[in-house]
A and B are shown apart, each in its own frame.
Chain A
Amino acid sequence: MVTELNDGTFDKFIEGNKLVLVDCWAPWCRPCRMLAPIIEELAEELKDKVAVGKLNTDDNQGIAYRFGINAIPTLLVFKDGVMHEPLVGLRPKEEIRDYVLGL
């Protein structure tokens, strides 16, 4: 399951989960549309290990600004509340999975 996040729920989601992946996207972004089904598959495959969320950067510019996002899709990755290097752009499923599980 991919949890829909917003500026108000974002921090609690990061704090409440050990390993977190957040897909930052916007409706008009074509690569984001291509990434969305991959993120959904990953959320299902890794449901016991990784909490997966998505954040519409158009509606939630506070988080986008806070994390310096200036390209989408961007995948924010957190372990124990600490942010690691984001993955920017469209990536294959295996690369995203290996990166997150390798932290």
Chain B
Amino acid sequence: MDVIIIGVGPAGLQAAIHAARGKASTTMIGKTEDSAMHGAHVENYFGIEGRTDGSDILKRGLTQAASFGAEHIRENVTAMERSGDSFIATTENDTRIEAKAVILASGISRKKLNVPGEKEYFGKGVSYCAACDCNFYKGKRVAVIGDDSEAAASAELMTSYASHVFWITKDTKASDIMIRKAKDAGAEIISEEVKEIMGKEKVTKIMFSDSSMINVEGVFIELGARSSSDLAMDIDVMPNTDGTISVNERCETPVKGVYACGDVTGRPWQIAKAVGQGAVAGMNAAAYIKGDRVV
């Protein structure tokens, strides 16, 4: 494979169209419903009059990209790695895809749960990074909150440290493989909606919408798929502290062969800007594969 595009929102789809038309073998990885555009009504994009469902435009864009030869894997990417001059993406079904170039286009992280107690207890039991903080919860009861494969992976990870792990997932979207791994590791699945994170100086319990409660000392919030900035770090691209990734006018990151476009490069979070950057990233990635240079 020449080019992997992570994310199938407006930036990723436009990048796929240009990369595929530029004769690069291209694979798009992601789910259109994870794009911020999916639930949006579009009325400020050139050539589209009236309110148009973002989901409809995404669907057409996916078909269009496929018509130019881009392949689509409808899964989330759970990890990236470098292998010599190439890059390998691993998906939630353990599929591994290697390519010479990567375009990061899966948006920015919007991962707050927005329940009472979340902000107050951040750093006092509430964490957004199981991999960072697992060591502080040895022998303690913890909860992992989230519906995607990322949450399942964190629940599995925490079973190696905590005395008991609750995986709270109201509407599971994780892959069967990841669910099985979490269950086999001993995570207890709870299908409730979190209403409040409670405690005194530190977290002591979680209350659900039906007013039932569980006692925990740690709450790991792992919402959504891994964002572009999370994945970028796997391949040595360091995001800024606000989660954005800096690119130059060719949408190149400091790592050769890695491009970023769309919301992850910063504001404005607009479809027009995402599409523009997607085109630039797609053309430049295709040119990079052929050894040309596009400005």
Does B218 sit within 8 A of A, measured CB to CB? yes
Q: Is the CB of A34 within 8 A of B238?
A: yes
Chain B interface, >50% SS class? mixed
- Tell me whether A34 and B135 are in contact in the complex, defined as CB-CB below 8 angstroms, given that A29-B129, A70-B218 are known contacts: no
In-complex Cβ contact of B131 among A28, A64, A70, A73 (8 A): A28
Q: Which B-chain residue is minimally distant from A38 (CB atoms)?
A: B241
- Tell me whether A29 and B218 are in contact in the complex, defined as CB-CB below 8 angstroms, given that A34-B238, A91-B241 are known contacts: no
Q: Is the CB of A31 within 8 A of B122?
A: no
Q: Encode contact with A along B106-132: 1 for CB under 8 Å, 0 otherwise.
A: 000000000000000011111111011
- Tell me whether A33 and B238 are in contact in the complex, defined as CB-CB below 8 angstroms, given that A70-B218, A71-B122, A88-B123 are known contacts: yes
Cα of A91 to Cα of B133 in the assembled complex, Å: 17
Q: Is the CB of B136 within 8 A of A30?
A: no
Q: Encode contact with B along A60-79: 1 for CB under 8 Å, 0 otherwise.
A: 00001000111111100000
A95 to chain B, nearest CB (A): 9
Q: Is the CB of A30 within 8 A of B129?
A: yes
Does B249 sit within 8 A of A, measured CB to CB? no
Does B34 sit within 8 A of A, measured CB to CB? no
Q: Is the CB of B132 within 8 A of A28?
A: yes
Q: Which B-chain residue is minimally distant from A65 (CB atoms)?
A: B136
Q: Is the CB of A74 within 8 A of B123?
A: yes
A to B CB contacts below 8 Å, 10 in the list: A28-B132, A29-B129, A34-B239, A37-B238, A69-B136, A70-B127, A71-B129, A72-B133, A74-B123, A88-B123
